[in-house]
Structure 1
Amino acid sequence: MKNIKLSVLDQSQVRRNGTARQALEESGELIKLAEKLGYTRYWVSEHHNFKMVAGTAPEILIPYLASKTKTIKVGSGGIMLPNHSALKVAENFGLLETLFPKRIDLGIGRAPGGDRLSSHLLNPSNNFSEKEFFQQLIDVQAFLRHEETPDTVHEKVKSYPSPEEIPDLWLLTSSGGSAQFAAHFGMGLSFAQFINPEGGPETADFYRHNFKPSAELKEPKVNVGIFAFCSEDEQKVKDWITEFDYRMLHIESGASGDLPSFEEIKSFNYSLQQKARITYNRGRFIAGTPEKLKAEIEKITEKYETDEIMIATIAEDFEDRKKSYELLAEIFLKS
């Protein structure tokens, strides 16, 4: 078996009857465990107007997490760039890289990170234009590099502090559209299979064949994000799938409030349309015993021709969540 690297995507889940403070403290505990187990990187997401997720500001959560660890790379998965000014993002991540040298990833996304109204309120000038996103990518890269391109703002405005090396730059994609930008700018590509189970390997292939080396990245680099749950207890796996099927429908319906109890979820009668959506959504996660997940993860790495899988594990029992990451580490991260 080839050497497979595992990373963590943490959405700072607020558990049923839990609090945001508890969720963020659990993130602090989880990153220490991830570093101890040998995970490569730990990314936090940007979500808005969504009660079940505490991670609204990666630029604030990243230093909290990085300060609790020594070696693991910490970053955004991602900063939703249209919600922000390019200069401010460059300042934030230049400062983070200065504080934690060679440990910061700047993962960039184009989605709202919630609904469009929230995105508009975060940045009233955002018109969700692909052309403007492209310009923002130019600007972020130029600000971080301290470029002085004639007849542009970069002649007169610089981003400070200026780190010795700029953060590792990644573009996130679920539809495949941002793969062309990642290839053009010479950035890493992270495909979100946890959002879209279709088209990922083709997107990674397109990116590799069109990749242009940059000053920071000479070869294409791909990772794949997926929801996953691992347990030696098969009943726990079945219960997790039952709840997760409902959780995804709950989110897709636009609901932002608490989940019903597990007993209510178990007795729920789904419509034919909901059952079809559940079938589709099951391509967004993997769940099972260590033996099953070993085979599933190896299959994903082969399809995408990558050696790094980013695991997002949501579980109502924090001990089960930690144990899942531990079991995967025992398979793939043994020294």
Structure 2
Amino acid sequence: MMSNKLQSINISVLDLAMVPENGSASTTFANSAVLAQHAEKWGFTRYWLAEHHNMEGIASTATAVLIGHVAAQTKTIRVGSGGIMLPNHTPLVVAEQFGTLATLFPGRIDLGLGRAPGTDQRTAMALRRNADTSTDFPLHVQELQKYLSTTNKTSSVRAFPGEGLDIPIWILGSSTDSAHLAAALGLPYAFASHFAPAMFTQAIAIYRREFKPSAHLSAPFVTACVNVIAADTNQEAARLATSFKQLFLGILTGNRRKLSQPVNPDGLFDYTEEAALGQMIKYSFIGGPNKVGKELEEFIELSGVDEVMIASAIYDPEARLHSYEIVGELHRK
């Protein structure tokens, strides 16, 4: 019999705004809005979009614009970034953009921040055109916090709108580096365990051990992003997951591709490919409702996370909707 761990925590959505084969950015944006509307109805807490660049199969380059698009077509669900890659932007511009979003959609905007560029180095230089690196990330986070604070009103550089607005800042991580920063600043921590599982346990342990309460947060708060491919049967979920697995295998081999149509999973990957995928997508839950529910419960029990954020790289938009619907039903039981 399942425990109630899944029912007792937040569940949320991470949307990578993937453009499938034979698809377009336009249809991707429309599908994101539809998914967000359904996620709101099904009890999901937040809907985050991730910043990537120079990738033909991902359309979330102008992340703040896309957040506004989704927020405008929903009513209550929190919408935010998972995340804004701070090396690509000046902190003042981010403060102004998210100040504008928070003014348009009061009490609904989250600002998740990452230290990586979300792209290759040449594209990163084209975006920022200076020598800033991830080592500058802590200083840039604090500069951004300053622009959003009420105490910045005596400064000669101010963010309008933005200053004094309640915009929750999250620190994102895929290794242990950002865990130290999130703990030191007393901010919530979101870990990218959907593609970087190796350091997950160590990173959240560091964060919890070193956490210092702040005006923003009194106790540690951990969100883990995981992959979920749910369907009515284990067999159908395994078939749908072939799109997701081929996508991640392309990342591993340097042969990036758009999300492809699902195929018969039998014999699709050899032993070496399965082993490599198994390491990268360790925290992936694929199957029918009972299997996915049981595995999510076990993950929550073992990790003790406060929130699970779900990424579902599914080719067909209706099948993707149904996958989230299944998770929403498990959450409400």
TM-score w.r.t. length of structure 2: 0.92
Alignment match, 1:198: 198
Q: Spell out, residue by residue over 1:10-66, the C-alpha distance to the aligned partner (whole angstroms, 9 max, x if none).
A: 011112211110001000100000001010000001011111111112110111111
Structure 1 match to 2:285: 286
Which one of the candidate residues 143, 150, 153 is aligned to 2:147? 143
User: 2: distance between equivalents of 1:205 and 1:333?
Assistant: 29
Instruction: Determine if contact 1:95/1:163 at 8 Å carries over to the other structure.
Output: no
Gap change, CA 1:197 and 1:146, over 3 Å in 2: same
Aligned 8 A contact 1:170 1:189 in 2: yes
Tell me how large the CA RMSD over aligned residues is: 2.1
In the alignment, does 2:62 pair up with 1:57? Answer: yes
SS of residue paired to 1:283? coil
Q: Distance in 1 between matches of 2:289 and 2:62?
A: 33
Q: Structure 2: how far apart are the matches of 1:213 and 1:125? A: 34
Distance 2:303 2:165 in 1: 29
1:233 to 1:192, Cα distance in 2 relative to 1, 3 A: same
Q: Summarize the Cα distance change of 1:258–1:208 in structure 2 as closer, same or farther, 3 Å threshold.
A: closer
Task: Please list every run of 5 or more consecutive structure 2 residues that lacks an aligned counterpart in the other structure.
Answer: none
**SS in structure 2 at match of 1:88:** helix
Q: What is the CA–CA distance in structure 1 between the aligned matches of 2:63 and 2:24, rounded to whole Å?
A: 18
Aligned twin of 2:246: 246
Per the TM alignment, residue 68 of structure 1 is displaced from its structure 2 partner at its CA by 0.9
Match of 2:97 in 1: 92
Whether the 8 Å CA contact 2:32–2:70 is kept in 1: the answer is yes
Distance 2:266 2:121 in 1: 33
Q: How does 1:152-231 map to 2 (within 5 A)?
A: 155-162=155-162, 165-231=165-231
Mean alpha-carbon deviation: is it higher for 48-57 or for 259-268? 259-268
Q: Which segment drifts farther, 167-176 or 202-211?
A: 202-211
Answer yes or no: is the 8 Å Cα contact 1:49–1:256 preserved in 2: no
State the Cα distance separating 1:244 from its structure 2 match. 2.5
Q: Structure 1 unaligned runs (5+)? A: none
1:7, 1:309 within 8 Å by CA — same for their partners in 2? yes
Measured against aligned partners, the alpha-carbon deviations of 1:138-172 in whole angstroms (never above 9, x if no partner) come to 100111114349xxxx8321111146532111011
The offset of 1:98, in angstroms, is 1.4
| Alpha carbons 2:260, 2:315 under 8 Å: kept | no
Instruction: Kindly state the Cα deviation for residue 302 of structure 1 after the two structures are TM-superposed.
Output: 1.9
Residue equivalent to 2:48: 43
Structure 2 equivalent of residue 313 of structure 1 = 312
Q: Please give the alpha-carbon distance, in whole angstroms, between the structure 2 residues aligned to 1:175 and 1:99.
A: 34
Deviations 1:65-119 (A, max 9, x none): 1111111110000000001001100111111111111111000001121211111
Q: CA deviation at 1:255?
A: 2.9
Selected match of 2:25 from 20, 28, 48: 20
Give the Cα separation in 2 of the matches to 1:289 and 1:277.
24
Is the alpha carbon distance of 1:158 and 1:146 closer, same or farther for their aligned partners in structure 2, counting shifts above 3 Å?
A: farther
Question: Which residue of 70, 81, 86 maps to 1:76?
Answer: 81
CA distance in 1, matches of 2:68, 2:320: 23
Structure 2 Cα separation of the partners of residues 264 and 304 of structure 1: 33
Contact 1:245 1:281 in 2 (8 A): no
Q: What SS does structure 1 have at the residue aligned with 2:246?
A: helix
Q: Which moved more, 1:83-92 or 1:193-202?
A: 193-202
- 2:177 match: secondary structure: coil
Give per-residue Cα distances to partners, 1:257-311, cap 9 Å, x unaligned. 44666559877564x6434312213404211111111111112212221231000
Aligned residues: 328
Corresponding position of 1:112: 117
CA contact (8 A) 1:11 1:45 kept: yes
Contact 2:112/2:171, CA 8 A, preserved across alignment: yes
Partner of 1:31: 36
Displacement after TM superposition at 1:217 (Å): 1.8
Query: What amino acid does structure 2 have at the position aligned with 1:133?
Result: F
Q: Is the 8 A contact 2:247 2:258 kept in 1?
A: no
Does the 8 A contact of 2:50 with 2:82 survive in 1? yes
- Amino acid across the alignment from 1:6: I
Report the 3-state secondary structure (helix = DSSP H, G, I; strand = E; otherwise coil) of the residue aligned with 1:46. coil
For residues 291 and 182 of structure 1, what CA distance do their matches in structure 2 show? 35
Residue 248 of structure 1: CA displacement? 0.5
Query: Do 1:82 and 1:126's aligned partners in 2 also have CA atoms closer than 8 Å?
Result: no
**Deviation of residue 8 (structure 1)?**
0.2
Comparing 324-333 with 278-287, which one deviates more in the overlay? Answer: 278-287
Amino acid at match of 1:147: T
Q: 1:36 is aligned with what amino acid?
A: K
1:220 CA displacement: 1.5
Other structure's SS at 1:8 match? strand
